[in-house]
Structure 1
Amino acid sequence: MSTTAFTTAIAQARDLLRWRSPLRTELWAARLAADLEPDQVEPFLGELIEDGGAEGRLTLAALAAVNPASEAGAVSEAGAYVLAADGVVETLPGWVRRMGRVTCEGGWYGKADPYGEQVLAALSFRYENGKEPHLLVVGIDQASGGLAVDAVVEEVKFLDDLGLRAEEPGAVAGRVLDAFELGDRIMGAVVADTLAAVRPVAISRARAVPDLVRPAPDDTVSRFDELPDQPGAREAFEKLAEFVGDRPLWWSPARVTQFLTSWLPREAILSEAGIAAMPDVVRAWSRFSGAHPAVLAQVEADAPRLPALMADESLASLGKRIARNRL
């Protein structure tokens, strides 16, 4: 890191010592860490240690607070931050000790858009002294497999405009961690430019939630209670549940078409009753998923084609043909 950038960080830390805000300091440290290239971390930490002043020590403590070492204790950038900050917190004002020491007060989860192509996971926190309540909101992209694509830390009142359903914080935090871990495994994932600067705080907050559920299930399918009373409906719904998998909030016109005209003919073995019941099952699921006119219209456009598509042997996958031969 250049001397100019180091000087800037020290000047900003001086202001933070006057503001005495754990939250502001953590968010600043997360942005600072996001701007560091991997090969800049050790030299920058060395400059801070050599500086020795209160500003440098605050920077070390803040970087460690938002980049806690992994549970496995593996050598990593996070481990480097923690090692560099060893013993410095005790030399700083008492408010610094509150960084990262938060209590989770609630969790919420739901669609970010009408079709659920992205969902939002929200968690509210305040520090152990009861001050600086704040809300973490993570955007999770369903179309890309469920990876985290954006995150913000806002005032708790920000929740009022999101329309999310309250859920157990441990499950919501588990989804947040699952989403970030998935993103780490995908090369070249497209995410918001702002994500990197919030990511350390988001992960440290999610890890602070007690009773984490990993992997965190979604109970949307189990809450569905509008199954049509007709032969084959249960069989049809089981295939629909298999298709939506662990991303059941995502239900768009394109998803309808994929299910009815591609996935079912390719993968599903259904009785005649199951095929006949499928349109009504999909209509019921679409109403349960928000009854969006475009989705319902797509069901009406695609459903009449289903019997012919299911009868077309050329559309069946190899796995489906093998399974059918075993029946």
Structure 2
Amino acid sequence: MSTSAYTTAITQARDLLRWRSPLRTELWAARLTAALRPAEVQPLVRQLTEDGSPEARLTLAALATVQTTVPDDVEAATLDDMETLGDEAGRAAGQTAAREPAGDKTLRETLREAGREAARGLPEWVGRMGQVVCEQAWYGKADRYGEQTLAALRFRYPDDKEPHVLIVGIDQVNGGLAVDAAVEEPKFLDDLDLRSADPAVVAGRVLDAFEMTDLVMGAPIAESLPAVRPLALARARTIQDPVRQAPDDTLSRFLDLPDLPGAQEAFEKLVEFVGDRPLWWSPARVSRFLTSWLPREAILTDAAVSAMPEVVRAWSRFHGAEPEVLRQIEADAPRLPALMADESLAGLRKRMAQNDR
């Protein structure tokens, strides 16, 4: 880390000592962590340790809090290896697997020990950093069509001060990536239409989404996400036994299946299509289902083909009866029988299944 950047960190830490805010300090540490290259962390820790001032010790304690996101059992590259990577690749590797050279302590252990030692002698509020309790959780659509969902977790410190909500935006169109995150006051939720959910399930969705983002090179994320990411992961990991890959309960809450011959068969194909992203239901997705996916993939009885428009209408009403969605159904549904009868539209799997009959 450059001398200029180190001096800036110390100056900012001096201000934070006056603010006496665990949350503000953790958010600052997350931004600082996001700006560091993996190879810069060890020299920074050494420089801060040698400094020994209250500002340096606060910086170490804060960094240790947000760096608990590195799993102990990750098979990781060494810092020497990371120095040969480009900035973007090196940072991505460091976010999930930063370690010191082989045979030494892990970077996580080094920061944890340095942070624990640094916190001694600092004001009592410093010890509250990271010591949060999750009070409630929510999950639901971020927009009318569910192209993004929001996972929200409300936390408080032991002294009940600075209650806050972590909100993570999870993209549905591109496979469940974490694309944005923010830490807000609880009243921020007043303008959101989210359902109460199990904190362990929501925490698992947050962890799953960030894991997916890490696997996608050049993932389309908000510019603000890297600065919040370390704290978001640290918060999600405070929740005991997070449920990973939890199924969405949206399908089980749908109880308005039309009483028509073939409706259950039609709905089973709809379930197959929406998969693990049932909240995403836009005009474009409706059109793809009726005009492309069904003719290519589905083998249906005449009764199911006949019932499909009413099943799709019922599912759309369950999703809020968005006018654009209902208009798309009216535009595409009349074509469905002809499309299903057109054998040239069948995909390979459908043709093979038909030949096996």
Give TM-score scaled by structure 1 length: 0.96
Alignment of 1:169-188 (within 5 A): 169-188=199-218
How far apart are 1:108 and its partner, in Å? 0.7
Contact 2:63/2:111, CA 8 A, preserved across alignment:
no
1:65 paired to 2:65: yes
Counterpart of 2:102? none
Alignment of 1:218-237 (within 5 A): 218-237=248-267
AA paired with 1:8? T
Counterpart of 1:83? 110
1:21 paired to 2:21: yes
1:4 paired to 2:4: yes
**Secondary structure, aligned partner of 1:250:** coil
Q: Match for 1:198 among 222, 228, 231? A: 228
C-alpha RMSD over aligned residues: 1.4
Q: Render the CA deviation track for 1:51-85: whole Å, top value 9, x for unaligned.
A: 22221121111111011031426553385254134
Q: Match for 2:152 among 110, 122, 135? A: 122
Counterpart of 1:285? 315
AA paired with 1:146? G
AA paired with 1:236? A
Counterpart of 1:152? 182
How far apart are 1:310 and its partner, in Å? 1.1
Q: How many residues align?
A: 327
Distance 2:130 2:178 in 1: 21
How far apart are 1:110 and its partner, in Å? 0.9
Contact 1:63/1:81, CA 8 A, preserved across alignment:
no
Contact 1:30/1:199, CA 8 A, preserved across alignment:
yes
Counterpart of 1:113? 143
In the alignment, structure 1 segments of 5+ residues that lack a partner are: none
Q: Structure 2 vs 1, CA of residues 7 and 210 (structure 1 numbering), >3 Å: closer, same or farther?
A: same
Counterpart of 2:35? 35
How far apart are 1:36 and its partner, in Å? 1.1
Distance 1:174 1:10 in 2: 35
Distance 1:244 1:25 in 2: 42
Give TM-score scaled by structure 2 length: 0.88
Deviates more, 1:24-33 or 1:302-311: 302-311
Question: How much identity, in percent, do the aligned residues show?
Answer: 67
Distance 2:182 2:62 in 1: 18
AA paired with 2:55? E
How far apart are 1:45 and its partner, in Å? 2.1
How far apart are 1:18 and its partner, in Å? 1.9
In the alignment, structure 2 segments of 5+ residues that lack a partner are: 77-96, 100-105
Q: Render the CA deviation track for 1:13-58: whole Å, top value 9, x for unaligned.
A: 1111222211111000000011112232222222212222221121
Deviates more, 1:224-233 or 1:54-63: 54-63
**Secondary structure, aligned partner of 1:109:** strand
Contact 2:295/2:346, CA 8 A, preserved across alignment:
yes
